[in-house]
Amino acid sequence: MDAVSTHVSAVPQMPGKTSRSGIEQRELQELVLETEAQLRSLGNASILITGATGWFGVWLIDFLSAADDMLNLDLRIAAVSRDPERFLAKFPAFSGDSRITWIKADVRELPATGDEYSHVIHAAADTTARPGSNAAAQLFDTIVDGTRRALAAAGPNCRSFLLLSSGAVYGPARAGSARFYEEDAETADVSLLRNEYAIGKREAERICAVAGGEGIPARIARCFAFVGPHMPFDRHFAIGNFIADAAQGQPIRVRSDGRPQRSYLYMTDLLRALLAILTEGSVGRPYNVGSEICFTIEQVARCVDRIVGGGGVMIEGVQSDPCDRYIPDTTRLRTELKCAQHIGLETAIAQTAAWYRAQIRTQMSP
């Protein structure tokens, strides 16, 4: 099934050695060497990261810290989180790191610290609305107001502002179109509350476009679906639920008829793309980030069951929409920034499952 071969680096393997957040250290070391030229362009950078303790944020901080260790980049990182204490209790290896300054704040209330940042990675926005009658409004405000706050915090000397947008901005897939292209028009129905995330991300892109006209070099990554350590295993990410069930020897339950089409990009490939866009992407130009290799949900479930060793696959859902697919076209990323997928789905599943099982063992240890 793996249509993409795993990249092999000259970095020696160090079995059992993990990064500050528990990622296999070798993965980060290989990525640093592969992206060394782009990382060196960040020398002496002051980087603001919102959503720093979320799934993407953990990887970003761990990767940049590893890069600074290996390349002596003299990085300074300002990490925004609603609850940095909880994060540092979970990952104490980050405590006392002098290069990281923690800013405790909701991104909607991000203070103007007076600091100037050379780079901003705006990764804050929960994809899961909080319970309550105003959950959709809170989600929309977090995305839109948070983007305004992050842009205001960037400062006049910001060299690159990277918005992590979403493939959700395209709305539902259309008949006869196998992939989403950056030129596709917005199609999310603004009257439906369930589209607040997509509408918010589209509005955030427009805010960045305006900021670009005012001199802030805003760049946009439209992120699709991903898999890897630190992903949520008990939320609305199907592959995460599949891996968790299989790793615990349980049957994988597919809530649809298994025909919806998805693709998944491993986290090191995501970081490679985000770094390329941050350092080399065209201002105001969105780039799709994801995998073009399409699988049905049933194929993904059976692949997970086979690789991880689960208790079989149960297809439980009703007939799905034949247009239910979420696959990006990444031609722009590949041709303009020379950034292609390295890790195939089977490898991504195996590495994610190994990490998940290691976490379970750690939690069960006395």
Q: What is the mean pLDDT of residues 229-253?
A: 93
In a domain, 123, yes or no: no
In a domain, 230, yes or no: yes
In a domain, 80, yes or no: no
Enter the pTM of the model.
0.92
Nearest-angstrom CA–CA distance, 88 and 85: 5
Angle at 207 between CA 202 and CA 208, to 5 degrees: 95
In a domain, 322, yes or no: yes
DSSP code of residue 92:
G
Residue that is written with structure tokens 């300074």 in the block: 76
In a domain, 158, yes or no: no
In a domain, 311, yes or no: yes
In a domain, 335, yes or no: no
Q: What is the mean pLDDT of residues 41-53?
A: 97
Cβ-based neighbours of 191, under 8 Å, separated by 6 or more: none
Q: How confident is the model at residue 104 (pLDDT cuts 50, 70, 90)?
A: very high
What's the pLDDT score for residue 6?
A: 39
Here the tokens at position 201 are: 């991300």
Indicate the residue type of 298.
E
DSSP output for 120-171: EEE----SSPPSSTTHHHHHHHHHHHHHHHHHHHH-TT-SEEEEEEEGGGG-
What's the pLDDT score for residue 363?
A: 75
Total domains in the chain come to 1
* CATH number of the structural domain spanning residue 257: 3.90.25.10
pLDDT tens column, 265-281: 999 999 999 999 999 99
Domain hosting residue 250, numbered range? 225-266+291-328+344-366
Name the average pLDDT for the chain: 90
Q: Which of 288, 284, 274, 267 is nearest to 335 (CA)?
A: 288
In a domain, 324, yes or no: yes
pLDDT at 342 over 90: yes
What's the pLDDT score for residue 186?
A: 65
Determine contact, residues 163/205, Cβ cutoff 8 Å. yes
pLDDT tens column, 186-238: 666 655 556 888 999 999 999 999 998 889 999 999 999 999 999 999 887 89
